[in-house]
Protein backbone atom coordinates (compact mmCIF):
# COMPACT_ATOMS: atom_id res chain seq x y z
CA UNK A 1 0.00 0.00 0.00
CA UNK A 2 1.25 3.51 -0.82
CA UNK A 3 2.34 5.87 1.96
CA UNK A 4 -0.50 8.22 1.01
CA UNK A 5 -3.13 5.52 1.46
CA UNK A 6 -1.62 4.46 4.79
CA UNK A 7 -1.70 8.10 5.90
CA UNK A 8 -5.31 8.45 4.73
CA UNK A 9 -6.33 5.41 6.76
CA UNK A 10 -4.60 6.85 9.83
CA UNK A 11 -6.54 10.08 9.30
CA UNK A 12 -9.83 8.17 8.92
CA UNK A 13 -9.26 6.43 12.26
CA UNK A 14 -8.38 9.71 13.96
CA UNK A 15 -11.41 11.49 12.45
CA UNK A 16 -13.77 8.69 13.45
CA UNK A 17 -12.43 8.77 17.00
CA UNK A 18 -12.95 12.55 17.13
CA UNK A 19 -16.65 12.26 16.27
CA UNK A 20 -17.47 9.04 18.11
CA UNK A 21 -19.92 10.79 20.46
CA UNK A 22 -22.29 9.42 21.74
CA UNK A 23 -20.23 6.29 22.15
CA UNK A 24 -22.30 4.44 24.75
CA UNK A 25 -23.50 0.95 23.82
CA UNK A 26 -27.31 0.82 24.01
CA UNK A 27 -28.34 -2.58 22.67
CA UNK A 28 -28.32 -5.85 24.57
CA UNK A 29 -27.50 -9.16 22.95
CA UNK A 30 -30.45 -11.44 22.21
CA UNK A 31 -30.43 -15.14 21.46
CA UNK A 32 -32.33 -17.19 18.92
CA UNK A 33 -34.50 -20.24 19.74
CA UNK A 34 -31.50 -22.60 19.60
CA UNK A 35 -29.42 -20.44 21.94
CA UNK A 36 -27.42 -18.97 19.07
CA UNK A 37 -26.63 -15.23 19.39
CA UNK A 38 -28.94 -13.05 17.31
CA UNK A 39 -27.78 -10.08 15.27
CA UNK A 40 -29.29 -6.65 15.73
CA UNK A 41 -29.29 -6.08 11.98
CA UNK A 42 -28.49 -8.48 9.17
CA UNK A 43 -27.76 -6.69 5.89
CA UNK A 44 -28.13 -8.66 2.69
CA UNK A 45 -25.91 -7.28 -0.07
CA UNK A 46 -22.44 -5.78 0.35
CA UNK A 47 -22.64 -3.43 -2.62
CA UNK A 48 -22.37 0.31 -2.07
CA UNK A 49 -25.77 0.41 -0.31
CA UNK A 50 -24.96 -2.38 2.16
CA UNK A 51 -21.61 -0.74 2.92
CA UNK A 52 -23.14 2.69 3.56
CA UNK A 53 -25.94 1.23 5.70
CA UNK A 54 -23.45 -0.79 7.74
CA UNK A 55 -21.33 2.34 8.24
CA UNK A 56 -24.37 4.37 9.31
CA UNK A 57 -25.39 1.68 11.81
CA UNK A 58 -21.91 1.39 13.29
CA UNK A 59 -21.81 5.16 13.76
CA UNK A 60 -25.08 4.82 15.70
CA UNK A 61 -23.46 2.17 17.91
CA UNK A 62 -25.40 -0.66 16.30
CA UNK A 63 -22.36 -2.84 15.84
CA UNK A 64 -23.82 -6.33 16.26
CA UNK A 65 -24.40 -6.51 12.52
CA UNK A 66 -23.34 -8.69 9.61
CA UNK A 67 -23.35 -8.17 5.85
CA UNK A 68 -23.82 -11.15 3.54
CA UNK A 69 -23.25 -11.25 -0.18
CA UNK A 70 -23.58 -14.18 -2.52
CA UNK A 71 -20.90 -12.71 -4.78
CA UNK A 72 -17.22 -13.25 -4.14
CA UNK A 73 -15.29 -10.42 -2.52
CA UNK A 74 -14.82 -7.50 -4.92
CA UNK A 75 -17.48 -8.77 -7.34
CA UNK A 76 -20.51 -7.28 -5.58
CA UNK A 77 -22.99 -5.38 -7.72
CA UNK A 78 -22.65 -4.51 -11.38
CA UNK A 79 -19.27 -2.78 -11.45
CA UNK A 80 -17.03 -5.73 -12.34
CA UNK A 81 -19.78 -7.98 -13.65
CA UNK A 82 -22.35 -6.67 -16.10
CA UNK A 83 -21.68 -2.89 -16.12
CA UNK A 84 -20.36 -2.25 -19.62
CA UNK A 85 -19.29 1.38 -19.49
CA UNK A 86 -15.70 2.54 -18.95
CA UNK A 87 -16.66 5.12 -16.34
CA UNK A 88 -19.44 5.86 -13.89
CA UNK A 89 -22.26 8.04 -15.17
CA UNK A 90 -22.41 10.20 -12.04
CA UNK A 91 -20.24 13.32 -11.83
CA UNK A 92 -17.03 12.66 -9.92
CA UNK A 93 -17.89 15.04 -7.09
CA UNK A 94 -21.09 13.27 -5.99
CA UNK A 95 -20.48 11.94 -2.50
CA UNK A 96 -22.29 8.76 -1.44
CA UNK A 97 -21.18 5.73 0.56
CA UNK A 98 -18.86 7.98 2.62
CA UNK A 99 -22.01 9.52 4.21
CA UNK A 100 -20.42 12.99 3.96
CA UNK A 101 -17.32 11.94 5.88
CA UNK A 102 -14.49 13.84 4.06
CA UNK A 103 -11.61 11.37 4.50
CA UNK A 104 -13.82 8.49 3.27
CA UNK A 105 -14.93 10.15 0.02
CA UNK A 106 -13.95 8.79 -3.37
CA UNK A 107 -11.96 12.00 -3.90
CA UNK A 108 -9.82 11.38 -0.80
CA UNK A 109 -9.17 7.80 -1.86
CA UNK A 110 -8.39 8.82 -5.46
CA UNK A 111 -5.99 11.57 -4.39
CA UNK A 112 -4.19 9.16 -2.09
CA UNK A 113 -4.06 6.44 -4.73
CA UNK A 114 -3.28 8.48 -7.87
CA UNK A 115 -2.31 11.98 -6.66
CA UNK A 116 -4.13 15.30 -6.35
CA UNK A 117 -3.22 16.34 -9.86
CA UNK A 118 -4.78 13.21 -11.30
CA UNK A 119 -8.03 14.06 -9.51
CA UNK A 120 -7.97 17.56 -11.01
CA UNK A 121 -7.68 16.22 -14.55
CA UNK A 122 -10.07 13.30 -14.03
CA UNK A 123 -13.29 13.56 -16.03
CA UNK A 124 -15.44 10.66 -14.78
CA UNK A 125 -14.59 7.91 -12.30
CA UNK A 126 -13.35 4.70 -13.98
CA UNK A 127 -15.69 1.85 -13.12
CA UNK A 128 -12.89 -0.44 -11.89
CA UNK A 129 -11.57 2.31 -9.61
CA UNK A 130 -15.03 2.73 -8.08
CA UNK A 131 -15.11 -1.02 -7.32
CA UNK A 132 -11.62 -0.81 -5.77
CA UNK A 133 -12.68 2.21 -3.67
CA UNK A 134 -15.77 0.37 -2.34
CA UNK A 135 -13.59 -2.52 -1.23
CA UNK A 136 -11.12 -0.13 0.44
CA UNK A 137 -13.97 1.69 2.18
CA UNK A 138 -15.50 -1.40 3.69
CA UNK A 139 -12.11 -2.71 4.87
CA UNK A 140 -11.10 0.66 6.33
CA UNK A 141 -14.26 0.99 8.41
CA UNK A 142 -13.94 -2.69 9.35
CA UNK A 143 -17.36 -3.87 8.28
CA UNK A 144 -18.06 -7.54 9.02
CA UNK A 145 -18.85 -9.11 5.63
CA UNK A 146 -19.31 -12.74 4.63
CA UNK A 147 -18.95 -13.25 0.89
CA UNK A 148 -20.11 -16.28 -1.03
CA UNK A 149 -23.10 -16.46 1.31
CA UNK A 150 -26.62 -16.35 -0.10
CA UNK A 151 -29.86 -15.56 1.69
CA UNK A 152 -32.37 -18.23 0.69
CA UNK A 153 -35.40 -17.43 2.80
CA UNK A 154 -36.70 -15.26 5.65
CA UNK A 155 -39.20 -16.54 8.20
CA UNK A 156 -40.47 -15.40 11.58
CA UNK A 157 -38.93 -16.83 14.76
CA UNK A 158 -39.70 -16.67 18.49
CA UNK A 159 -39.18 -13.52 20.60
CA UNK A 160 -39.72 -11.09 17.74
CA UNK A 161 -36.71 -12.33 15.79
CA UNK A 162 -36.39 -13.10 12.12
CA UNK A 163 -34.83 -16.34 10.90
CA UNK A 164 -32.67 -16.10 7.78
CA UNK A 165 -31.82 -19.36 6.03
CA UNK A 166 -28.45 -18.83 4.34
CA UNK A 167 -26.23 -20.95 2.15
CA UNK A 168 -22.44 -20.88 2.13
CA UNK A 169 -20.67 -23.40 -0.09
CA UNK A 170 -22.77 -26.53 0.51
CA UNK A 171 -23.75 -25.73 4.09
CA UNK A 172 -27.10 -24.24 5.02
CA UNK A 173 -27.58 -22.52 8.37
CA UNK A 174 -30.09 -20.26 10.11
CA UNK A 175 -29.08 -16.82 11.34
CA UNK A 176 -31.32 -14.87 13.70
CA UNK A 177 -31.70 -11.12 13.56
CA UNK A 178 -33.94 -8.44 15.00
CA UNK A 179 -34.05 -6.68 11.67
CA UNK A 180 -33.04 -7.51 8.10
CA UNK A 181 -32.16 -4.96 5.45
CA UNK A 182 -32.36 -6.11 1.85
CA UNK A 183 -29.78 -4.09 -0.09
CA UNK A 184 -29.99 -6.59 -2.90
CA UNK A 185 -29.64 -4.32 -5.90
CA UNK A 186 -31.58 -3.76 -9.09
CA UNK A 187 -33.03 -7.27 -9.30
CA UNK A 188 -33.71 -7.66 -5.56
CA UNK A 189 -37.48 -7.62 -6.00
CA UNK A 190 -37.96 -8.86 -9.52
CA UNK A 191 -36.19 -9.65 -12.73
CA UNK A 192 -34.78 -8.09 -15.85
CA UNK A 193 -37.52 -7.86 -18.43
CA UNK A 194 -37.62 -9.60 -21.76
CA UNK A 195 -40.52 -7.91 -23.59
CA UNK A 196 -43.44 -10.21 -24.32
CA UNK A 197 -42.93 -10.51 -28.11
CA UNK A 198 -39.38 -11.79 -27.49
CA UNK A 199 -40.13 -14.05 -24.53
CA UNK A 200 -40.48 -17.21 -26.62
CA UNK A 201 -37.18 -16.79 -28.52
CA UNK A 202 -34.55 -19.50 -27.93
CA UNK A 203 -32.29 -18.64 -24.98
CA UNK A 204 -29.27 -18.83 -27.29
CA UNK A 205 -30.45 -15.80 -29.27
CA UNK A 206 -31.70 -13.42 -26.58
CA UNK A 207 -30.26 -12.01 -23.35
CA UNK A 208 -30.75 -9.08 -21.00
CA UNK A 209 -28.14 -6.42 -20.30
CA UNK A 210 -27.51 -8.05 -16.89
CA UNK A 211 -26.59 -11.42 -18.39
CA UNK A 212 -23.08 -12.70 -18.86
CA UNK A 213 -22.89 -12.19 -22.64
CA UNK A 214 -20.01 -13.63 -24.65
CA UNK A 215 -19.38 -10.53 -26.76
CA UNK A 216 -16.41 -12.11 -28.57
CA UNK A 217 -18.89 -14.56 -30.12
CA UNK A 218 -20.81 -11.60 -31.63
CA UNK A 219 -17.91 -10.69 -33.90
CA UNK A 220 -19.22 -10.46 -37.48
CA UNK A 221 -22.81 -10.92 -36.25
CA UNK A 222 -25.92 -8.72 -36.49
CA UNK A 223 -27.00 -7.52 -33.08
CA UNK A 224 -30.26 -5.81 -32.08
CA UNK A 225 -30.49 -3.98 -28.77
CA UNK A 226 -33.98 -3.24 -27.45
CA UNK A 227 -34.34 -0.11 -25.32
CA UNK A 228 -32.65 3.27 -25.33
CA UNK A 229 -31.40 3.83 -21.79
CA UNK A 230 -27.75 4.09 -20.81
CA UNK A 231 -27.30 0.32 -20.34
CA UNK A 232 -28.79 -0.39 -23.78
CA UNK A 233 -26.23 1.98 -25.33
CA UNK A 234 -23.40 0.45 -23.28
CA UNK A 235 -24.29 -3.00 -24.59
CA UNK A 236 -24.60 -1.74 -28.16
CA UNK A 237 -21.16 -0.10 -27.81
CA UNK A 238 -19.63 -3.28 -26.38
CA UNK A 239 -21.04 -5.28 -29.31
CA UNK A 240 -19.64 -2.72 -31.78
CA UNK A 241 -16.23 -2.75 -30.12
CA UNK A 242 -16.25 -6.56 -30.19
CA UNK A 243 -16.61 -6.42 -33.98
CA UNK A 244 -20.38 -6.82 -34.45
CA UNK A 245 -21.16 -6.49 -38.18
CA UNK A 246 -24.29 -4.38 -37.63
CA UNK A 247 -25.71 -3.09 -34.39
CA UNK A 248 -29.28 -1.79 -34.32
CA UNK A 249 -30.71 0.01 -31.30
CA UNK A 250 -34.52 -0.05 -31.25
CA UNK A 251 -36.16 2.78 -29.36
CA UNK A 252 -39.91 2.54 -28.64
CA UNK A 253 -40.49 6.29 -28.49
CA UNK A 254 -40.92 8.44 -31.58
CA UNK A 255 -37.88 10.40 -30.40
CA UNK A 256 -35.17 9.22 -28.12
CA UNK A 257 -35.28 10.57 -24.54
CA UNK A 258 -32.28 12.81 -23.90
CA UNK A 259 -33.38 14.42 -20.63
CA UNK A 260 -31.95 12.99 -17.41
CA UNK A 261 -34.66 13.42 -14.75
CA UNK A 262 -32.28 12.11 -12.07
CA UNK A 263 -30.20 15.27 -12.53
CA UNK A 264 -33.32 17.35 -11.87
CA UNK A 265 -34.20 15.51 -8.68
CA UNK A 266 -30.72 15.80 -7.18
CA UNK A 267 -31.43 18.50 -4.60
CA UNK A 268 -31.71 18.06 -0.86
CA UNK A 269 -35.37 19.09 -0.60
CA UNK A 270 -36.61 16.45 -3.04
CA UNK A 271 -34.21 13.75 -1.92
CA UNK A 272 -35.11 14.20 1.73
CA UNK A 273 -38.80 15.13 1.64
CA UNK A 274 -40.51 13.47 -1.32
CA UNK A 275 -41.35 10.65 1.09
CA UNK A 276 -43.08 13.16 3.40
CA UNK A 277 -45.63 14.05 0.70
CA UNK A 278 -49.01 12.38 0.36
CA UNK A 279 -49.52 9.49 -2.01
CA UNK A 280 -51.01 11.64 -4.78
CA UNK A 281 -47.92 13.87 -4.95
CA UNK A 282 -45.47 11.01 -4.56
CA UNK A 283 -47.18 9.13 -7.39
CA UNK A 284 -47.35 12.20 -9.63
CA UNK A 285 -43.64 13.00 -9.28
CA UNK A 286 -42.35 9.45 -9.49
CA UNK A 287 -44.60 8.38 -12.32
CA UNK A 288 -43.34 11.31 -14.39
CA UNK A 289 -39.71 10.56 -13.54
CA UNK A 290 -39.89 6.79 -13.97
CA UNK A 291 -41.87 7.02 -17.20
CA UNK A 292 -39.19 9.31 -18.61
CA UNK A 293 -36.60 6.72 -17.54
CA UNK A 294 -32.95 7.57 -17.16
CA UNK A 295 -31.29 9.45 -19.97
CA UNK A 296 -27.81 8.56 -21.20
CA UNK A 297 -24.67 10.72 -21.03
CA UNK A 298 -23.14 12.21 -24.18
CA UNK A 299 -20.08 9.95 -23.97
CA UNK A 300 -22.33 6.87 -23.89
CA UNK A 301 -24.04 7.96 -27.09
CA UNK A 302 -20.77 8.96 -28.81
CA UNK A 303 -19.29 5.54 -28.04
CA UNK A 304 -21.94 4.06 -30.38
CA UNK A 305 -22.39 6.89 -32.88
CA UNK A 306 -18.73 6.83 -33.90
CA UNK A 307 -19.28 3.44 -35.58
CA UNK A 308 -20.67 3.55 -39.13
CA UNK A 309 -22.36 0.17 -38.60
CA UNK A 310 -24.47 1.51 -35.73
CA UNK A 311 -28.12 2.42 -36.47
CA UNK A 312 -30.55 4.05 -34.10
CA UNK A 313 -34.20 3.25 -34.92
CA UNK A 314 -36.67 5.63 -33.26
CA UNK A 315 -40.40 4.89 -33.07
CA UNK A 316 -39.60 1.19 -33.37
CA UNK A 317 -41.26 -0.91 -30.64
CA UNK A 318 -40.94 -4.62 -31.35
CA UNK A 319 -44.41 -5.92 -32.26
CA UNK A 320 -43.51 -9.49 -33.14
CA UNK A 321 -40.37 -11.59 -33.14
CA UNK A 322 -39.74 -14.94 -34.79
CA UNK A 323 -36.86 -17.13 -35.87
CA UNK A 324 -36.56 -17.50 -39.65
CA UNK A 325 -33.94 -19.14 -41.83
CA UNK A 326 -32.09 -15.77 -41.85
CA UNK A 327 -32.06 -15.15 -38.10
CA UNK A 328 -34.35 -13.48 -35.58
CA UNK A 329 -36.82 -11.24 -37.39
CA UNK A 330 -38.06 -8.29 -35.33
CA UNK A 331 -41.09 -6.51 -36.76
CA UNK A 332 -41.65 -2.87 -35.86
CA UNK A 333 -44.00 -0.18 -37.22
CA UNK A 334 -40.98 1.15 -39.14
CA UNK A 335 -40.21 -2.18 -40.83
CA UNK A 336 -38.35 -5.39 -39.96
CA UNK A 337 -34.81 -5.97 -38.73
CA UNK A 338 -33.09 -9.31 -38.81
CA UNK A 339 -30.47 -10.07 -36.18
CA UNK A 340 -28.38 -12.99 -34.97
CA UNK A 341 -28.59 -11.93 -31.34
CA UNK A 342 -30.95 -9.70 -29.35
CA UNK A 343 -30.04 -7.87 -26.12
CA UNK A 344 -32.87 -6.42 -24.02
CA UNK A 345 -32.18 -3.24 -22.10
CA UNK A 346 -35.78 -2.81 -21.03
CA UNK A 347 -35.37 -2.59 -17.27
CA UNK A 348 -36.69 -4.48 -14.30
CA UNK A 349 -40.21 -5.57 -13.50
CA UNK A 350 -41.36 -6.26 -9.94
CA UNK A 351 -42.05 -9.91 -9.23
CA UNK A 352 -41.75 -10.69 -5.53
CA UNK A 353 -42.67 -14.35 -5.92
CA UNK A 354 -39.72 -14.83 -8.28
CA UNK A 355 -37.28 -14.07 -5.45
CA UNK A 356 -36.75 -17.01 -3.09
CA UNK A 357 -35.82 -14.81 -0.13
CA UNK A 358 -39.23 -13.08 -0.34
CA UNK A 359 -41.09 -16.34 -0.97
CA UNK A 360 -42.69 -16.77 2.46
CA UNK A 361 -44.39 -13.38 2.37
CA UNK A 362 -44.34 -12.32 -1.31
CA UNK A 363 -48.13 -12.59 -1.55
CA UNK A 364 -48.65 -10.23 1.38
CA UNK A 365 -46.32 -7.37 0.41
CA UNK A 366 -48.50 -4.30 -0.15
CA UNK A 367 -47.90 -2.61 -3.47
CA UNK A 368 -48.72 0.88 -4.63
CA UNK A 369 -51.69 -0.54 -6.54
CA UNK A 370 -53.04 -1.90 -3.24
CA UNK A 371 -52.82 1.49 -1.54
CA UNK A 372 -53.38 4.20 -4.12
CA UNK A 373 -55.63 4.59 -7.13
CA UNK A 374 -54.27 7.36 -9.36
CA UNK A 375 -56.52 9.40 -11.65
CA UNK A 376 -57.26 7.77 -15.01
CA UNK A 377 -54.62 9.78 -16.90
CA UNK A 378 -51.88 8.94 -14.36
CA UNK A 379 -52.30 5.14 -14.31
CA UNK A 380 -49.29 2.87 -14.83
CA UNK A 381 -49.65 -0.83 -13.93
CA UNK A 382 -45.85 -1.40 -13.93
CA UNK A 383 -45.34 1.25 -11.25
CA UNK A 384 -48.39 -0.01 -9.35
CA UNK A 385 -46.41 -3.24 -8.76
CA UNK A 386 -43.70 -1.38 -6.77
CA UNK A 387 -43.80 -2.12 -3.02
CA UNK A 388 -45.55 0.44 -0.83
CA UNK A 389 -43.00 0.93 1.95
CA UNK A 390 -43.33 2.37 5.46
CA UNK A 391 -41.36 5.48 6.43
CA UNK A 392 -38.49 3.29 7.66
CA UNK A 393 -38.25 1.43 4.30
CA UNK A 394 -40.02 -1.60 5.81
CA UNK A 395 -42.45 -3.74 3.84
CA UNK A 396 -46.09 -3.18 4.70
CA UNK A 397 -48.78 -5.84 4.68
CA UNK A 398 -51.44 -6.22 2.01
CA UNK A 399 -53.63 -8.00 4.55
CA UNK A 400 -52.83 -6.61 8.01
CA UNK A 401 -52.07 -9.20 10.69
CA UNK A 402 -51.18 -12.04 8.30
CA UNK A 403 -47.39 -11.48 8.34
CA UNK A 404 -46.82 -8.63 10.84
CA UNK A 405 -43.14 -9.58 11.16
CA UNK A 406 -42.39 -8.11 7.71
CA UNK A 407 -42.31 -4.69 9.39
CA UNK A 408 -38.76 -5.72 10.44
CA UNK A 409 -37.69 -6.35 6.85
CA UNK A 410 -36.47 -3.17 5.21
CA UNK A 411 -35.87 -2.72 1.48
CA UNK A 412 -33.19 -0.35 0.22
CA UNK A 413 -33.04 -0.75 -3.54
CA UNK A 414 -34.38 0.60 -6.80
CA UNK A 415 -37.79 -0.81 -5.77
CA UNK A 416 -37.88 1.75 -2.92
CA UNK A 417 -38.05 4.52 -5.53
CA UNK A 418 -41.83 4.95 -5.71
CA UNK A 419 -42.01 5.48 -1.94
CA UNK A 420 -38.85 7.55 -1.44
CA UNK A 421 -38.11 9.44 -4.64
CA UNK A 422 -34.55 8.40 -5.31
CA UNK A 423 -34.01 4.99 -3.75
CA UNK A 424 -30.70 5.87 -2.18
CA UNK A 425 -28.93 2.98 -3.83
CA UNK A 426 -27.70 5.31 -6.58
CA UNK A 427 -24.87 7.58 -5.56
CA UNK A 428 -26.72 10.90 -5.83
CA UNK A 429 -29.18 10.06 -3.04
CA UNK A 430 -27.12 7.99 -0.61
CA UNK A 431 -26.01 10.74 1.76
CA UNK A 432 -29.67 11.68 2.29
CA UNK A 433 -31.35 8.29 2.12
CA UNK A 434 -29.02 6.13 4.20
CA UNK A 435 -29.31 8.31 7.35
CA UNK A 436 -33.10 8.19 6.92
CA UNK A 437 -33.04 4.38 6.80
CA UNK A 438 -30.61 4.17 9.73
CA UNK A 439 -32.86 6.52 11.71
CA UNK A 440 -35.80 4.21 11.01
CA UNK A 441 -33.82 1.14 12.08
CA UNK A 442 -32.58 2.68 15.35
CA UNK A 443 -36.08 4.02 16.08
CA UNK A 444 -37.50 0.49 15.74
CA UNK A 445 -34.77 -1.05 17.91
CA UNK A 446 -35.16 1.63 20.58
CA UNK A 447 -38.94 1.38 20.68
CA UNK A 448 -38.88 -2.39 20.95
CA UNK A 449 -36.61 -2.06 24.00
CA UNK A 450 -38.50 0.75 25.69
CA UNK A 451 -39.40 -1.35 28.78
CA UNK A 452 -35.75 -2.25 29.30
CA UNK A 453 -34.67 1.39 28.93
CA UNK A 454 -37.33 2.41 31.46
CA UNK A 455 -36.18 -0.27 33.90
CA UNK A 456 -32.60 0.84 33.35
CA UNK A 457 -33.44 4.48 34.11
CA UNK A 458 -35.46 3.46 37.15
CA UNK A 459 -32.50 1.50 38.52
CA UNK A 460 -29.92 4.10 37.54
CA UNK A 461 -27.90 5.07 40.59
CA UNK A 462 -24.48 6.08 39.30
CA UNK A 463 -23.35 9.20 41.16
CA UNK A 464 -21.74 11.84 38.99
CA UNK A 465 -19.98 13.59 41.87
CA UNK A 466 -18.77 12.79 45.35
CA UNK A 467 -20.12 15.20 47.92
CA UNK A 468 -18.09 15.51 51.12
CA UNK A 469 -20.24 16.54 54.05
CA UNK A 470 -18.50 18.45 56.88
CA UNK A 471 -18.48 16.61 60.23
CA UNK A 472 -19.84 19.67 62.10
CA UNK A 473 -23.46 20.28 61.30
CA UNK A 474 -25.13 23.67 61.38
CA UNK A 475 -26.45 24.86 64.66
CA UNK A 476 -30.08 23.98 65.03
CA UNK A 477 -32.37 27.00 65.54
CA UNK A 478 -33.74 27.10 69.09
Ligand X SMILES: Cc1cc2nc3c(=O)[nH]c(=O)nc-3n(C[C@H](O)[C@H](O)[C@H](O)COP(=O)(O)OP(=O)(O)OC[C@H]3O[C@@H](n4cnc5c(N)ncnc54)[C@H](O)[C@@H]3O)c2cc1C
Helix 127-140 vs helix 3-18: angle between axes, to the nearest 10 degrees? Answer: 50
* Nearest-approach distance from CB 389 to ligand X, in angstroms: 15
Residue 328 or 438 having the CB closest to ligand X: 438
Residues whose CB falls within 8 Å of the CB of residue 17, separated by 6 or more in sequence, listed in order: none
Please state the length of the chain. Answer: 478
- Contact footprint for ligand X (CB under 6 A): 44-45, 47-50, 68-71, 76-78, 83, 88-90, 150-151, 183-186, 188, 231, 357, 413, 425-428
* Nearest-approach distance from CB 96 to ligand X, in angstroms: 7
* Nearest-approach distance from CB 51 to ligand X, in angstroms: 7
Residue 27 or 136 having the CB closest to ligand X: 136
Residue 332 or 423 having the CB closest to ligand X: 423
CB-based closest residue to ligand X? 77
* Nearest-approach distance from CB 262 to ligand X, in angstroms: 8
Buried b (16+ CB within 10 A) or exposed e, 375-413: eeeeebeebbbbbbbeebbbbbbbeeeebebbebbbbbb
**Contact at 8 Å (CB) between 69 and 45?**
yes
Residue 316 or 347 having the CB closest to ligand X: 347
* Nearest-approach distance from CB 6 to ligand X, in angstroms: 27
Buried b (16+ CB within 10 A) or exposed e, 140-170: bbebbbebebbbebbeebeeebbbbbbbeee
**Contact at 8 Å (CB) between 62 and 442?**
yes
**Per-residue three-class SS string for 371-419:** HCCCCHHHCCHHHHCCECECCCCEECECCCCCCHHHHHEEECCHHHHHH
- Cα distance between residue 96 and residue 100, in whole Å: 7
* Nearest-approach distance from CB 88 to ligand X, in angstroms: 4
Residue 88 or 193 having the CB closest to ligand X: 88
Residue 246 or 408 having the CB closest to ligand X: 408
* Nearest-approach distance from CB 48 to ligand X, in angstroms: 5
- Cα distance between residue 344 and residue 372, in whole Å: 30
Residue 108 or 428 having the CB closest to ligand X: 428
Amino acid sequence: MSDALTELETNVRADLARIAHPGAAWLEPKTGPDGKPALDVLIIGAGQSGIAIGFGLMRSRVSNILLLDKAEEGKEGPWLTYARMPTLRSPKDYTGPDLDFPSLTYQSWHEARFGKEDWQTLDLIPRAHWAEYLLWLRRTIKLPVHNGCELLEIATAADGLLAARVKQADAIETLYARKIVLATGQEGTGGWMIPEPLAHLPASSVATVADDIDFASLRGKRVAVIGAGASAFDNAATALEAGGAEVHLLCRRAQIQVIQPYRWLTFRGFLRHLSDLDDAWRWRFMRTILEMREGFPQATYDRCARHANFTLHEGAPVETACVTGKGVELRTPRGAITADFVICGTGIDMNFAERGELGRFAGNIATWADRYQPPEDERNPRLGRFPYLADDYAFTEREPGKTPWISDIHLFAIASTMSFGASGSSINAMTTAVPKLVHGLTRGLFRADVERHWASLSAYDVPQAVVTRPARTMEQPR
